[in-house]
Amino acid sequence: MTGQPPTGDNVVNEGDRASNATERAPDDKSALDRPLETSPEESAGEVEERVQASTTGSISAPTDADEVDLNLDTEERHHAIELLAAVEFGERLAKGETLLEVKDLQKWFPIRAGFIRHTVAHVKAVDGLNFAVEKGETFAIVGESGCGKSTTGRAILQLEKPTGGEVIFNHATLGKIDLVQASRKDLKTVRPNMQIIFQDPFSSLDGRMTVGRIIAEPLVINSKLRGRALKDRIAELLTVVGMRPEHASRYPHAFSGGQRQRLGIARALALNPEMIICDEAVSALDVSVQAQVLNLLEKLQTELGLTYIFISHDLSVVEHISDHVAVMYVGKIAEIARTEDLFKRPRHPYSEALLSAVPKPDPKNRSEPKILVGDVPSPANPPSGCYFHTRCPYAQDICSTDSPPLRDVGDGHMAACHFAEELQLEGVTAVAQMAFEVPTRPLPGSPYAQGGRLAGTGSRRGG
């Protein structure tokens, strides 16, 4: 192989692999628990490809059978959505009602030292958060790594027991209930209404369970669905996220990152929740796939009336998807506002710095970002006064002594800065919109544009 230059087309023992796969196919078929029959219109070829894909390790061949359905307006999907929306685990709230209220939420992790492991200090990962989330909106939490945004998400779900404060969830039957103080029984009633999608689609799905079992797990625990009805629900859920019911019999390794993230979404949707926490849900995906998943999340929100708490460090994604944004810095909220307001005119110097640091996809707009000096302070040993004063370009004497409270600076815009009113901070300017379209057919001027589909193949070079 070394001496002989490879041809441009990479055809290497394609036949070998195909025959290999078909030989092994019968075994594997019986080994997999196939909860769904193959639909009659499926050709033998598609089955073969699927089997091949599931036998050959981490392969997600880009076959049509595998391709995620981008058209989310198919009839089957509408039907599946209707079925899913009809599922009631308790009553639903009306849009606009307050779904979640977080009051003085606190999560301190102890630092232990010495022989008897006594607590010497605390890492104040989350330190006194206050915010409210409305039903049907997307509430984003942004900040640098280590600012406590993921801990906030986990503390809301009671995955980490908060060390203080209240998380009041407005449950349709139980009414407003404080999850921090709630009994186990009440928590179990509320939990189906709050789900989470994790960042890493590779580690958040159990590699030893089929997709069908992964999605069935919450249903088996929280509902009485069994047998045929359970399989039907799994099929619906897969359709809802743009995958195919046949995928239920495969294992997660057979899917690409974007497809796995869809499976994570399907699992989160299984109980038709009120609220989903998306913890960096699109950060690990390739750009082209990220757009697919974002579109799916938005579509599901309008269809099912979902509420998202969207935790992310990517500000352009946040601007696209969210209604309200909270900017966190060292366990505290620096600013909360409606997304447009915050991006247009931030009131906290930290928000300004974050916004200006985002690399804009426009080579003619190479503005010098407002570079923050130094690093994020440690939440175990935060600075005095305003935590941001060590890096703030506008800091005054008062900033190092007095901690500014989060206060309304007009029109529901909250900021924790002594000078929120005085400072004229810069927001983002819109990045030039693309003046070009993705071609969907040969463009005018293309050698293939005029005449029939293949016309001009022989003579186009002359013209």
> Of 245-274, which residues contact other proteins (CB under 8 A)?
256-259
Q: Using CB under 8 A, which of 29, 34, 47, 60 touches other proteins?
A: 60
Q: How far is the CB of 372 from other proteins (least distance, A)?
A: 5
Distance CA 129, CA 441 (A): 52
Q: Which of residues 212-231 bind other proteins (CB under 8 A)?
A: none
Q: How far is the CB of 59 from other proteins (least distance, A)?
A: 5
Q: Which of residues 35-54 bind other proteins (CB under 8 A)?
A: 45, 49
Nearest to 149 by CA among 335, 332, 298: 332
Cα 412 from chain centre: 27
Q: Which of residues 321-340 bind other proteins (CB under 8 A)?
A: 321
Q: Which of residues 410-439 bind other proteins (CB under 8 A)?
A: 428-431, 433-439
- Closer residue to other proteins (CB): 204 or 259: 259
Q: Using CB under 8 A, which of 31, 61, 113, 120 touches other proteins?
A: 61
- Closer residue to other proteins (CB): 80 or 142: 142
Q: Which of residues 144-163 bind other proteins (CB under 8 A)?
A: 144-145
- Closer residue to other proteins (CB): 13 or 183: 13
Under rule CB under 8 A, residue 8 binds other proteins: yes
Under rule CB under 8 A, residue 353 binds other proteins: yes
Q: Which of residues 159-218 bind other proteins (CB under 8 A)?
A: none
Which window, 81-89, 152-160, 213-221, 312-320, contacts other proteins (CB under 8 A)? 312-320
Which window, 24-32, 84-92, 355-363, 415-423, contacts other proteins (CB under 8 A)? 355-363
Q: Using CB under 8 A, which of 368, 397, 411, 422 touches other proteins?
A: 368
Under rule CB under 8 A, residue 111 binds other proteins: no
Task: Describe the strand order of the beta sheet including 175-178 as a list of residue ranges.
Answer: 118-134, 98-113, 164-171, 175-178
Under rule CB under 8 A, residue 358 binds other proteins: yes
Q: How far is the CB of 319 from other proteins (least distance, A)?
A: 6
Under rule CB under 8 A, residue 392 binds other proteins: no
Q: Which of residues 11-40 bind other proteins (CB under 8 A)?
A: 11-14, 16-18
Under rule CB under 8 A, residue 451 binds other proteins: no
- Closer residue to other proteins (CB): 17 or 34: 17
Distance CA 270, CA 300 (A): 13
- Count of C-beta atoms within a 10 Å radius of residue 31: 10
Under rule CB under 8 A, residue 447 binds other proteins: yes
Under rule CB under 8 A, residue 443 binds other proteins: yes
Task: Describe the strand order of the beta sheet including 414-415 as a list of residue ranges.
Answer: 194-197, 275-279, 307-312, 138-142, 324-329, 332-338, 414-415, 407-408
Distance CA 38, CA 235 (A): 12
Under rule CB under 8 A, residue 459 binds other proteins: no
Q: Using CB under 8 A, which of 27, 82, 286, 421 touches other proteins?
A: 286
Q: Using CB under 8 A, which of 9, 73, 411, 422 touches other proteins?
A: 9
